[in-house]
Amino acid sequence: MSKMAEGNFFEDFAVGRPLVHGVPRTVTTGDVALYLGLTGGRHAVHCADSFAQRCGHPRAPIDDLLTFHVVFGKSVPDVSLNAVANLGYAEGRFLAPVYPGDTLVARSQVVGVRENSNGRTGTVYVRTEGLRDGEPVLEYVRWVMVRKRDPANPAPPAQLPELKPALDVEDLVVPAGLRAPDDPDGLAGARWRFEDYEVGERIDHVDGMTIEEAEHRTATRLYQNTARVHFDAHREKQGRFGKCIVYGGHVLSLARALAWSGLETVVAIAGINGGTHANPCFAGDTVYAWSEVLDRRPLPDRDDLGALRLRLVAAKDHPCADFPLKGEDGRYRGEVLLDFDYWALVPRA
């Protein structure tokens, strides 16, 4: 029996198939420090135990997106080792904070498949869970374009999942014990509150961050994401772009780090409504970001925290003062890398 791990191709997936992902991962303070060095994140709840304790945590939880990437990375060998591109996300919920020393495992189930018209690839939908000691801490759906092993092979019957266009505020889970911090000195970096944000408001996060080749590959290795399109330059010389592409999750983390400016008081990401990696990113590109407030909702039975529905847009080599997104034809402009729709928790006045 061959021990070569070639990963799953499109025709290997069928709706209902369970996928148990290998290699548990204990997240350490070293991982947290490396993530901070690669992204520059500044949200106080993830930077200081003392501030996290003001929010009701025993110590600083790891960044919500670091949890997401570690769980995502677990799924790659079984879901997207043979991917052409990761396409989008839906119904993501952060169910419990994760702390250094916690061990994460992941499992998925195939919830949709559809062959693409070219006959060489197909789109696979999976619902993935991240767990700590059997307790779910994260769940989300993602869909990915996967190569077929042989274009002549028959495709599985097309079946698409029914997904919510967005989570309702009642779907969000507020971690046990989480509260708005007592921050009279503005240690979060600003004093913005839930009531300070208006639906339709757009925030230019101003700063840019250039992605270096070594940094994006190190970041992707941190998550143990083994997708060849991010690492194998020899193979990718024959690929669509002739070179490796940056993991879209790294773009997301950089954009979220840049979005500290103007959203300094966010204490948690609660949900992912949707996300699109609109165009590829490569080493040498500079990432800029802006956010739009899509909705503002009070949380049930809470008067100290509210939920902001935010659109986070990242663009390459294009400062975001003009808020680039889509052209007159309805397609994303070429400089747009990411369109990410999520719920964040912020203190109320």
Residue 166 falls inside a structural domain: no
- pLDDT of 336 higher than 80: yes
Q: What was the pLDDT predicted at 82?
A: 87
Q: Which residue has the higher pLDDT, 156 or 289?
A: 289
For 282, other C-beta atoms within 10 Å of its C-beta total: 14
In 3D, which of 111, 104, 146, 160 has the Cα closest to residue 129?
104
| 33, containing H or E segment | helix 29-39
What sign results for the dihedral spanned by CA atoms 235, 239, 245, 249? Answer: negative
Structural domain boundaries, residue 80: 10-153+178-347
In 3D, which of 51, 90, 55, 135 has the Cα closest to residue 275?
90
Distance CA 222, CA 32 (A): 10
φ, ψ (nearest 5 deg) of residue 117: -65, -20
Locate 53 and state its tokens. 């304790």
- pLDDT of 1 higher than 80: no
Q: What was the pLDDT predicted at 298?
A: 97
pLDDT digits over 259-305, tens only?
999 999 999 999 999 999 999 999 999 999 999 999 999 999 999 99
Q: What was the pLDDT predicted at 227?
A: 86
- Work out the percent of the chain whose per-residue pLDDT is above 70: 100
Residues 6+ away with beta carbon under 8 Å from 114: 122, 123, 158, 159, 160
Average confidence (pLDDT) over 159-163: 96
Q: What was the pLDDT predicted at 5?
A: 82
Residues 6+ away with beta carbon under 8 Å from 90: 140, 141, 142, 163, 164, 272, 273, 274
Q: What was the pLDDT predicted at 155?
A: 86
Distance CA 62, CA 75 (A): 20
Residue 129 falls inside a structural domain: yes
239: CATH: 3.10.129.10
**Residue 181: band (very low, low, confident or very high) from pLDDT cuts 50, 70, 90:** very high
Locate 281 and state its tokens. 């990113």
In 3D, which of 188, 223, 307 has the Cα closest to residue 38?
223
Q: What was the pLDDT predicted at 4?
A: 80
Average confidence (pLDDT) over 2-11: 88
**Residue 171: band (very low, low, confident or very high) from pLDDT cuts 50, 70, 90:** very high
Average confidence (pLDDT) over 167-191: 95
Residue 228 falls inside a structural domain: yes
Q: What was the pLDDT predicted at 240?
A: 86
Residue 68 falls inside a structural domain: yes
Q: What was the pLDDT predicted at 84?
A: 83
Show the 3-state SS of 213-270: HHHHHHHHHHCCCCCHHHCCHHHHCCCCCCCCCCCHHHHHHHHHHHCCCCCCCCCEEE
Distance CA 157, CA 304 (A): 49
pLDDT digits over 184-228, tens only?
889 999 999 999 999 999 999 999 999 999 999 999 999 999 888
Cβ proximity of 126 and 19 under 8 Å: yes
Mean pLDDT score across all residues of the chain: 96
Locate 1 and state its tokens. 């029996």
Distance CA 230, CA 248 (A): 10
Structural domain count of the chain: 1
In 3D, which of 57, 67, 60 has the Cα closest to residue 42?
60
What sign results for the dihedral spanned by CA atoms 280, 284, 285, 286? Answer: positive
Q: Is the pTM of the predicted complex or chain greater than 0.85? A: yes
Residue 167 falls inside a structural domain: no
Q: What was the pLDDT predicted at 76?
A: 94
Locate 332 and state its tokens. 């994303």
- pLDDT of 74 higher than 80: yes
pLDDT digits over 76-127, tens only?
999 998 888 888 899 999 999 999 999 999 999 999 999 999 999 999 999 9
Residue 301 falls inside a structural domain: yes
First to last CA, the chain: 64
Residue 235 falls inside a structural domain: yes
Residue 331 falls inside a structural domain: yes
